[in-house]
Amino acid sequence: MIENLHKKILASIFVGILILAILSFYANVAELINAIKSFNWLLIAPILLLSILNYLIRFARWEFYLKKLGIKISTFKSLIVFISGLTMSVTPGKIGEALKSYLLKLTDNVQISRSAPIVIAERLTDFLALLLLALFGAFYFNYGKGVIAGVGITLIAGTLAVSKREFFNFILNWTKKLTSDNLSQKINTAYDSIAELLKIKTLIPTVLISTLSWFSECVGFYLTVKAYLGAFSLNLATFIYSFSTIAGAVSMLPGGLGLTEGSMTGLLIINKVQKETAVAITIIIRFATLWFAVGLGLIALYIFQKRFEKFKNESKS
């Protein structure tokens, strides 16, 4: 599994470099370099701190979910596991963050079927939070309402379907005919976990937590744009960042690569930002969010390998 992880990250880095090359060609390489040089690089510290704030708030949500499912591990181990999962930010829909469940299985023998639904709940609340952040801007600027409405309706319908035990029992009875009793038991365990995490009393606070976490990155994007333009609406910056992130996520491309950058650059240009400046902003903020997260994840994964002998032995096999 670890070997496959390295291959996926390398493949995503290659795609990222390809996207960078395309954007550079589109913006004119010389003009783009000048635009990047003109950025006030003193701002990179607060922008990265806002990204870290996003991860810390999401870690608090992860801890909340673990407690809801009765999974008890030390805070330090939990933090290392969570940050290690950020390496999988470059997987389609970030679903590769199920790596966290694999790590919990190695260190504390937590059933993957018990903890993996946390990743599903995380992605669902992330989507709902981004929709909330983009919603006002979509109507105010009259752009992207169809995409946001479509994603929102799909998420709500899916949540309602999963929350109905009768619907799940029908699916489980059908799968029992095709699978072993052991697999059926794992499916049942997974459902019990996801049903607990999608209860209204759990869903509402976690969506609010997610909204706060993603807004911190919207502010980071706002600071990046403001460094170039001086005057820029926080509402518009929030809409552009959240809408572009949604577009990249629903595409199911690794890390939203290509569509996120294209949407972000395009929306900036629509709002009368010069294309070389728009591309520079996109490159800087993607470095400070997506690739920064992957870098932190790799560091945490290295610490995990060194600290937990069981994982170290597994990674050598």
Scored b (16 or more CB within 10 A) or e, 125-153 reads bbbbbbbbbbbebbeebebbeebbeebbe
pLDDT of residue 146: 75
What local confidence, expressed as pLDDT, does residue 22 receive?
84
What is the reported pLDDT for 3? 54
The pLDDT of residue 170? 63
pLDDT at 135: 83
pLDDT tens digits for range 8-66: 677 777 777 888 888 888 878 888 899 999 999 999 999 999 999 999 999 999 999 99
pLDDT of residue 305: 82
Q: Which pLDDT score is estimated for 250? A: 80
Residue pair 204/132 in contact by the 8 Å Cβ criterion: no
Look at residue 256 in the predicted model and tell me its pLDDT.
77
Task: Determine the pLDDT at residue 8.
Answer: 67
Q: Where are the chain's structural domains?
A: 2-26+48-316
pLDDT at residue 217, rounded to an integer: 96
pLDDT tens digit sequence for 127-156? 899 988 988 777 777 776 777 777 778 877
Residue spans of the chain under pLDDT 70 = 1-8, 92-95, 144, 162-184, 309-317
Position 253 scores a pLDDT of: 74
Q: Coil, helix or strand for 92?
A: strand
pLDDT at position 186 is 74
In angstroms, rounded to a whole number, what is the distance separating the alpha carbons of residues 261 and 277? Answer: 13
